[in-house]
Amino acid sequence: MTSTSHLPKALQNLALPVIASPMFIASGPALVAAQCKAGIVGSFPALNARPAELLDTWLTDLKAELVAYQAANPDAKVGPIAVNQIVHQSNDRLAADVAMCVKHQVPIIISSLRAPPKEMLDAIHSYGGIVLHDVISIRHAQKALEAGVDGLILVATGAGGHAGGLSPFALVGEVRKFFKGPIALSGAIASGDAILAALAMGADFAYIGSRWLATKESNVDDAYRQAIIESTAADIVYTNLFTGVHGNYLKKSIVAAGLDPDALPVADKSKMDFGGASGAKAWRDIWGAGQGVGLMDDAPTVAEVVARFTAEYQAAKARVLAI
């Protein structure tokens, strides 16, 4: 591990430089607790807590569980909780969900789609929280920084769910020309080698999603887990049909919905209702996944995944140092 003293306190002292990405439906309290106990940042979308009142319960219970775990394991590195907020006019829960996160002093907020407004940033900063914003382009990165976010999540080509089309080399390299703060990189990262590669090209963290889908703690059905295990990069389809925003999805789920994955129409990007122009519901019927699925051959526990990542990461570092 390299020094993390330059990073915000919430992002220091992790067991591995990994932020688990928040996944609709899949990221629930069991998955987040396991991620944090494994020493990485665990996250979930606020909208996963339904009804809205459940967000208070989730945060209360997660905090209590992690405090108890730390007390029972004083030498363990326990990662912080992050909550994803969708900054979009279709999200009528945003103000209430942010207020609940402020109440619980959630250390990390992940904002998506649009740069967070000043009042949201001020509320989170008031207790020392930080905001990481996910972006797919240089223009989006610059706008987010102008708004006052604390760090960036660069969503490169190949990432699961909503994703961009830029090479990670280009995206990280250009952003680093004008931003020296925290950067997490997303896009088909599914091994310890890839985590090290993300750091080598200038990111501070690997931002990983799809690998957690095929774990025992994820809130998905067994058919989804099995589809992850059986798929390769060739089985990932990039389309904006299902939410109005381009993303990567498993071909098998598109076929199961009665659609031709090779002849999908283009959706109106202004209509982001998560119902999809096709009638198939994103995340529930149409399964998001990244191009790294070909490296996922089983469904272990989160702790086992992090242990593998750690061993691979250390082995990759040793190979590089030996060159």
| The architecture CATH gives domain 9-218 | Alpha-Beta Barrel (3.20)
pLDDT at 273 over 80: no
Integer Cα distance of 124 and 190 in angstroms: 31
- CB 219, CB 30: distance < 8 Å: yes
Closest by CA position to 232, among listed 296, 187, 286, 287: 296
Judged against a pLDDT cut of 50, whether residue 274 lies above it is answered with no
- Please determine, for residue 244, whether its predicted confidence score (pLDDT) is greater than 80: yes
Model confidence at 285: pLDDT above 60 = yes
Mean pLDDT, rounded, of the chain: 94
Residues 127-182 have pLDDT tens digits of 999 999 999 999 999 999 999 999 999 999 999 988 899 999 999 999 999 999 99
- What are the CB-based long-range contacts (under 8 Å, 24+) for 170-175? 171/137, 171/138, 172/198, 172/201, 172/202, 172/203, 173/201, 173/202, 174/138, 175/138, 175/141
Per-residue model confidence as pLDDT tens digits over 86-117: 999 889 999 999 999 999 999 999 999 999 99
Structure tokens at 150: 């604390």
Residue in the block written with tokens 């207020």:
99
Give yes or no for residue 226 having a pLDDT over 90: yes
pTM, two decimal places: 0.94
Concatenated DSSP letters of 188-210: S--SHHHHHHHHHTT-SEEEE-H
Which has more pLDDT, 303 or 163?
Answer: 303
**Distance, CA of 122 to CA of 161 (rounded, Å):** 29
Domain boundaries, the chain: 9-218
- Mean of the pLDDT values across residues 208-231? 97
Mean pLDDT is lowest, of 47-51, 108-112, 263-267, for: 263-267
- What gap in Å lies between CA 279 and CA 261, rounded to an integer? 15
